[in-house]
A and B are shown apart, each in its own frame.
Chain A
Amino acid sequence: DVVMTQSPLSLPVTLGQPASISCRSSQSLVYSNGNTYLNWFQQRPGQSPRRLIYQVSNRDSGVPDRFSGSGSGTDFTLKISRVEAEDVGVYYCMQGTHWYTFGQGTKLEIK
């Protein structure tokens, strides 16, 4: 099974400051068709997960442009350019190249 490792697991951030979450996979996530199947999800307290980014860097509809995804192969990053109060929650990466696996989650809180 592909293991997804996120870091850090806890991320205290000052409002207005940038934040970055890393996600590393135990195998390359490049699929045979050339696509890389790596998503990012946000889960606010008490809410269902919401997908932010699909296939590494594509923002879902309605997602603020302060969220961006990047990476390739086995190393991926979710960046928030300026953290706002509504960004508090847990962030998960998910791979869909070798069936499906989630990372452990990164809890973002305001410092």
Chain B
Amino acid sequence: EVQLVETGGGLIQPGGSLRLSCAASGFTVSSSYMSWVRQAPGKGLEWVSVIFSSGITHYADSVKGRFTISRDNYKNTVYLQVNSLRAEDTAVYYCARDVMEATGHWGQGTLVTVSS
């Protein structure tokens, strides 16, 4: 069974950093393209970042230079390093596999709250 479990969220002060993890089971992250999508409280969905099987990465303009997506093939886990956090980064962060393909799957999300 395919499963994605996000962890690493929490309360963090503005300017701080966190590393979000997305532990995958039932498939291999290195053979899929993995994305992060976020949703601010009461708002819509916003795509954040993607890492392809080739290792190529891409970011939304709103996070470019502050967020870094990576993966650990041995741990079958995808990460999102989030730095220089701002209040507007407060959101539930979802991990997703192959968002546009038949094999698509989403996790349940992890909440990041940026506040002093």
Question: Which A residues are within 8 Å of any B CB, using their own CB?
Answer: 1, 37, 39, 41, 48-51, 54-55, 58, 60, 90, 92, 94, 96, 99-105
A48–B108 contact, CB under 8 A? yes
Count contacts between A and B, CB distance < 8 Å.
Answer: 53
A58–B44 contact, CB under 8 A? no
The answer to whether the Cβ of B66 comes within 8 Å of any Cβ in the partner chain is: no
**CB neighbours of B100 from chain A (8 A):** 37, 39, 54-55, 96
Minimum CB–CB distance from A15 to chain B (whole Å) comes to 26
A49–B106 contact, CB under 8 A? yes
**CB neighbours of B108 from chain A (8 A):** 48
Task: Say whether, besides A48-B109, A49-B94, A99 and B104 are in contact (CB < 8 Å).
Answer: no
Size band of the B side of the interface? Answer: 20 to 34
Task: Say whether, besides A51-B104, A54-B104, A102 and B45 are in contact (CB < 8 Å).
Answer: yes
B99–A39 contact, CB under 8 A? yes
Would you list which residues of chain B between 31 and 49 have a CB under 8 Å from chain A?
A: 35, 37, 39, 44-47
**CB neighbours of A58 from chain B (8 A):** 102
